[in-house]
Each structure stands twice: as structure tokens, then as C-alpha cells.
């Protein structure tokens, strides 16, 4: 990745850093979205009780944990 041109290297690393920050912001937004999904599924399963209600709740929790893991992982990658 590194070139003989220090100016270009600086630009590339700045750009890379900017993208990484952007990805972290997106991952945090996704985590918030996952929390909303957990709340949404609670609301939905309170409204209509079906056989798969508990499965959906577990899946939403897994998604929430996964997205939190991604946020932590992205931060550690910087």
C-alpha cells in the first residue's frame, strides 16, 4: 500500500481513517437499529401471540449482540 510519495501516503491513511470512523458510526447506527428491532418484536409479540414468538425474541437478541460485537470489533481495528 505504501508508495514512495509521503504526501500520497498521508492522504491514503487519512482517507482510510475517515472511512473507518464512518464505518464505526454506521455500526453504532446499526446497533441502535437492532435495539429498536428488539423493542419492535416485543411490541409485535405482545399484540399477536404465536408459536414462534420466543424464537423471534431470541433472534432479535442475537442480532443485538452481534451488532454490539461488530461495534467493539470496528473500534479495536483502528
Partner 1 sequence: MALMFPAFLDKPDKISFVDQEEDEVIELFLRRHGITNFPWIVLSILGLFIPALVVFLDQALQINFISKIPEKLALEALVLWYLFIIAFVFESFLSWYFNIYIMTNQQLVDINFRSLLFRDIVTIQYNDIQGVTSQIQGIIRSFFNFGDVLVETAAKNESVDFNDVPKPDQVADRIDDLQKTMKPNAV
Return d(Cα 40, Cα 42) in angstroms, integer.
5
Q: Which one of residues 5, 19, 32, 75 is an interface residue with partner 1 (CB under 8 A)? A: 19
Q: Is 71 in the site for partner 1 (CB under 8 A)?
A: no
* 30 lies in the site for partner 1, by CB under 8 A: yes
Contacts 24+ apart (CB under 8 A), 39-43: none
Contact indicator for 63, 37 with CB cutoff of 8 Å: yes
Q: Using CB under 8 A, list all residues that contact partner 1.
A: 1, 16, 19-20, 23, 26-27, 30, 33-34, 36-37, 39-41, 43-44, 46-52, 56, 59-60, 63, 66-67, 70, 74, 77
Amino acid at each position: 500500500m505504501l508508495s514512495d510519495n509521503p504526501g500520497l501516503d498521508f492522504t491514503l491513511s487519512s482517507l482510510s481513517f475517515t472511512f473507518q470512523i464512518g464505518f464505526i458510526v454506521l455500526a453504532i447506527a446499526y446497533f441502535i437499529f437492532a435495539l429498536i428491532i428488539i423493542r419492535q418484536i416485543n411490541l409485535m409479540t405482545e399484540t399477536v401471540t404465536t408459536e414462534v414468538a420466543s424464537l423471534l425474541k431470541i433472534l432479535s437478541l442475537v442480532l443485538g449482540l452481534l451488532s454490539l460485537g461488530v461495534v467493539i470489533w470496528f473500534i479495536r481495528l483502528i
